[in-house]
Structure 1
């Protein structure tokens, strides 16, 4: 293997390779077992299942919803990013923060808030509207970052040649930010394909809904596995496109473009565009939640011990998942940051496999796996935490690898020349500098774990409920008042690591 930089070892240590391969193998267990399970049903059964009209309807609904949501998020997210970076708006940082708020609200809580506020809302239009609102930041944030680094002189040249501002943007600036926009849009497509809670609340049948119905209603394991594999194939196509787009992202210094002053009328017309996603995805759901929470009968019905137990379970599994995910991500991240080669690339790609596995697919595959291979672990906390690790380990790998990659190799070389062993030099130099990135990865895993629903529904041990499952159980039973406390506390609990995460990033930027 070629080294990734000067002064690096030419070959990865065998121990590091084995540790990374073992971690990647853990991430690949659900997918491999799902393939084995579907293959065991036989080709005739697979063809017969995929040819059913209901299955075709599920697939069409999933693809249609993903396409509509992705197109909406791409257009709206890019527009918002342009407004916030190229137009002089009052309090720009506050508007950027507001535009990112939908990321902090789980889609099923947004659905719950709208059902409370507008009873009877359901179907494709509602699912499309809410999914678009909560996913717009996936496009807004990377495009805004790309616009800040895009060369503005080309746009100025286009204007001098008679182009309108809009035409000059598409000719000169759009090609520079298109990779970021495409990467964000494909993440939106992946999110839409894997969503279960919102589409179920909106009564819009998609593949995730069909998988859950096949498993829970008829306990048809073969059909559930085949549908899950179909969903994984669609998701893998999306992930392949996302990684390809990310790889073409240009990184070059450019002259910053000063925001343009616009008239008050134009500004009043643009700001509602920026506000639509926070309004639909955050404000209305939280207002509905607050309205329900403050009702007298809701306050009287709060079961304090049960609520505290759900909080404890949520925090407990989130901390366990964050710890295990970081430990498994570390050897993969070290390998990918320091070495190159086909084997390294393969191990890293398998580690990222959870990025393409919807929660319901991981949950279902681990139900099958635990029952068939390790029945003693079925419906235990260990399997539940393992599911979270598979799903969210890519968040830890990406951040840890980035942190390790930012550590100059020359510092490690200096430590070695002072007599430190490779391990001691790594512990003294690399670990302290990369620790903030490790913390960010752990917090991202913890936040995602707190909000995860479908895998938790399938794998949680008997008698243990998280805030997400308590909310779900009451919502599907139309007990909206009883669900309100769990929704409110879930938002508050998830906001704590999000605030810490923001503090870490702010500190890191100040140090840079």
Structure 2
């Protein structure tokens, strides 16, 4: 109690010196601590493993293979995402590519397809006795190239993660100062050299940010490696947890966390490098004339979007046509699954939006180390793979709060830890756009701090709060590993229905829920991209 009193006194002293409110500080700190605390149970569980047993498990050939496969998958997906995302962004922003508006949206839409949906669609299309083999059988083709393993997992995850690089690079190119290019060209720099020496340094932080998201997605993806039968951290952790190998699962989780920290450190180092700075003004509407190459250039976005979108949609439609074959009551789609997904996702979105407000407000209005630490702590759950978070909450719930273990509140709490940063980022951006003079005017007129927030700030940031909540809702709808590990007994939703159909190799039962997920997410992506006002000539 004495230490708590001392902490409160120090916070009050800080409030007197820099107008930092004690209540808001304590509330933001409590929220940040709640987001991180459950993860400490991984370390507690791992510390109970016998040291000899831990060394045997950590340095086994199986662990080495898992580490190697995970690193190879992450590296290949990141590299190929850059190789696809950067050229596509350049074509849709800086060139006279035909039908640029269409390709702008089409190139981003793969992001709305859950990778596990794409994975079993590709298995159905390219796997043994798949659709392509059936199509080519009359031509004497006995088999098509195998889709399983590292090549298949790399292909599928890349197709559904390159939009991260595409969107961040595209945003950087839209705000790029074209005067720098003009200056380089007047100095007799060729187009390729100008791109390498001027454009690339300008967009490198954006490329690094998108590559980070792609790398984190690849290292944390559970569904695709499981479907492609590739032994990686996430798949093995799930298998060990289901077979009651909690010791090995905890140790693998810590190894996976270490890999994630290395990825974050590498991205920070790349992003923090000095880059060329422009004047900050928007460039003119001039574009690179591709000449006769403008039509062949469409082959890249056409090929990528055909693989990422047309193949899964074609397979889902085939499954939908065969939905009546071999009816299984236990796998039948029911609207209660939609209700479960919507209700839990809505609850997570509301809770995340409410918790994001004090953290975002504190971070936006108080330039201090404490504010930065609280905000960054809320991002830990987003960086941690869902399978690791789920396992940590299994230990946390079963050991400390057994009364909440395998209940909807714990599932919602897991979603909030996982996706709170999406709400914090959106809300903080909105708060930074509020004119401080309006809040000061309210205080002058006698409003309290809370009254000024309620009557002035909140109405101005409402759209940012709603946008963050909507993003949490959509990502929660698609979350697979956390749902599989923490769902209550008998609880079924859209995601569990898709996974049950895949596990039983009865893909026709996944058609309706998969299409439903894609439609909901696709509508949101189209609305987002069509709101762009930076390019009136798009």
TM-score, normalization: structure 1? 0.92
Match of 1:39 in 2: 47
Counterparts of 1:410-425 in structure 2 under 5 Å?
Answer: 410-425=437-452
Preserved CA contact (<8 Å) 1:130 1:280: no
**Paired residue for 2:287?**
259
Find the counterpart in structure 2 of residue 169 from structure 1: 195
Q: Does 1:108 align with 2:121?
A: no
Superposition pairs of residues 442-457 of structure 1, within 5 angstroms: 442-457=469-484
Distance in 1, matches of 2:73 and 2:40, equals 28
| Correspondence 1:495-510 to 2 at 5 A | 495=522
- Measured against aligned partners, the alpha-carbon deviations of 1:256-310 in whole angstroms (never above 9, x if no partner) come to 141122223x112221222333222222111111111123635966889852011
Query: Shift in Å at residue 448 of structure 1?
Result: 0.6
Aligned-partner SS, 1:17: helix
- The residue number in structure 1 matching 2:366 is 339
Extract unaligned runs of 5+ from structure 2: 1-15, 129-146
Q: Alignment partner of 1:129: what SS?
A: helix
Structure 1 residues 449-474: Cα deviation after superposition (integer angstroms, max 9, x where no partner): 01000111111111111111111111
Give yes or no for contact 2:345–2:477 (8 Å, CA) kept in 1. yes
Counterpart residue number, 1:231: 256
Output aligned runs, 1:314-333, within 5 Å. Answer: 314-333=341-360
Q: Which residue of 1 aligns with 2:391?
A: 364
Partner of 1:125: 151
Please point out which of 470, 473, 489 is paired with 2:500.
473
Q: Which residue of 2 aligns with 1:193?
A: 219
Given candidates 96, 103, 107, the residue that maps to 1:99 is: 107
1:478, distance to aligned residue in structure 2 (A)? 0.7
Q: Which residue of 1 aligns with 2:231?
A: 205
CA distance in structure 2 between the aligned counterparts of 1:315 and 1:375, rounded to whole angstroms: 26
Native 8 Å contact 2:109 2:522 kept in 1: no
Residue 404 (structure 1) aligned to one of 431, 434, 438: 431
Shift of residue 499, structure 1, vs aligned partner: 6.1
C-alpha separation between the residues in 1 aligned to 2:30 and 2:214? Answer: 30
Query: Which segment drifts farther, 223-232 or 244-253?
Result: 244-253
Whether the 8 Å contact between 1:134 and 1:277 is mirrored in structure 2 is no
Aligned twin of 2:168 = 142
Give the counterpart of 1:75 among 83, 87, 90. Answer: 83
Is 1:10 the counterpart of 2:1 in the alignment? no
- Indicate conservation of the 8 Å contact 1:127/1:204, yes or no: yes
CA distance in 2, matches of 1:43, 1:348: 36
CA contact (8 A) 2:54 2:251 kept: yes
Q: Which deviates the most, 110-119 or 67-76?
A: 110-119
Q: Which moved more, 1:252-261 or 1:22-31?
A: 252-261
Give the Cα separation in 1 of the matches to 2:450 and 2:385. 37
State the partner residue of 1:490. Answer: 517
* CA shift for structure 1 position 497: 5.4
What is aligned with 1:381? 408
CA distance in 1, matches of 2:455, 2:375: 26
**Could you tell me which residue of structure 2 aligns to residue 65 of structure 1?**
73
| Distance in 1 (alpha carbons) for counterparts of 2:226 and 2:432 | 41
Shift in CA distance, 302/447, structure 1 to aligned 2, threshold 3 Å? farther
The equivalent of 2:186 in structure 1 is 160
Q: Quote the offset at 1:506 in angstroms.
A: 6.3
Distance of aligned partners of 1:251 and 1:376 in 2 relative to their CA distance in 1, 3 Å threshold = farther
Can you list the C-alpha shifts for 1:228-279, whole angstroms capped at 9, x where unaligned? 1111121123234445656678685134141122223x11222122233322
SS in 2 for 1:232: helix
Using the TM superposition, name which of 127-136 and 241-250 deviates more: 241-250
Aligned length: 500
Residue in structure 1 matched with residue 13 of structure 2 by the alignment: none
Deviations 1:132-169 (A, max 9, x none): 11111101111111112222222223333333312211
Q: Is the 8 A contact 2:174 2:535 kept in 1?
A: no
Is the 1:116–1:292 Cα contact (8 Å) retained in structure 2? Answer: no
Give the Cα–Cα distance (whole angstroms) in 1 for the partners of residues 346 and 534 of structure 2.
Answer: 23
2: distance between equivalents of 1:147 and 1:399? Answer: 22
**Aligned counterpart, 1:4:** none
Q: Per the alignment, in what secondary structure is the counterpart of residue 379 of structure 2? A: helix
Match for residue 50 of structure 1 among 49, 58, 63:
58
Provide the residue aligned with 2:339 in structure 1: 312
Segments of structure 1 that go 5 or more residues without pairing to the other structure are 1-7
Contact 1:302/1:482 (<8 A) preserved:
no
Structure showing greater radius of gyration is 2
Change in 2 beyond 3 A, CA 1:241/1:490: same
**Alpha carbon RMSD of aligned pairs, Å?**
2.5
1-structure distance, mates of 2:358, 2:326: 48
Cα 1:439–1:409, aligned 2, differ >3 Å: closer, same or farther?
same
* Alpha-carbon distance between aligned partners in 1 of 2:424 and 2:272, rounded to the nearest angstrom: 17
Distance in 1 separating the partners of 2:38 and 2:270: 26
2:139 aligns to what? none
* Aligned position for 2:241: 215
Other structure's SS at 1:260 match: coil
> What is the TM-score of this pair, normalised by structure 2?
0.87
CA offset at residue 114 of structure 1? Answer: 1.2
8 Å CA contact retained: 1:239, 1:355: no
Cα distance in 1, alignment partners of residues 278 and 334 from structure 2 = 48
The CA distance in 2 between the partners of 1:95 and 1:17, in whole Å, is 46
